[in-house]
Amino acid sequence: MPDSKGRPLGSEIEKEATKWAEEQGWFSFKVAMTNKRGVPDRFYSRAGKAVFVEFKGAFEVVSEPQKRRIREIVASGLDAWVCRDLADFKWRMR
């Protein structure tokens, strides 16, 4: 369900992005529960590439723990980012 201005929520972007990614051969799973706060929503992998993605709608706020986890993941050598747009997701997942 979009927000009051008709913009997609992060959960809607996540659903469409995951459908597209799996059609492109990406393996994915929802990160449901960890012992660390702020871990991104989804993990994707394909051909030796691993990606963590936090999905947010246009005006949904990224929490400080989420920002910190993304920085930690990137510092460890993996790719991680906040996705607010399906087109951006597709471009980054090429």
Q: Which residues contact 67 (CB under 8 A, 6 or more apart)?
A: 38
Residue 91, classed as helix, strand or coil, is: helix
pTM of the model: 0.92
Tens-place pLDDT, residues 45-89: 999 999 999 999 999 999 999 999 999 999 999 999 999 999 999
The pLDDT-based confidence of 34 (bands split at 50, 70, 90) is confident
Q: What angle do CA 51, 56, 58 make, to 5 degrees?
A: 130
**Topology (CATH level 3) of domain 10-92:** Trna Endonuclease; Chain: A, domain 1 (3.40.1350)
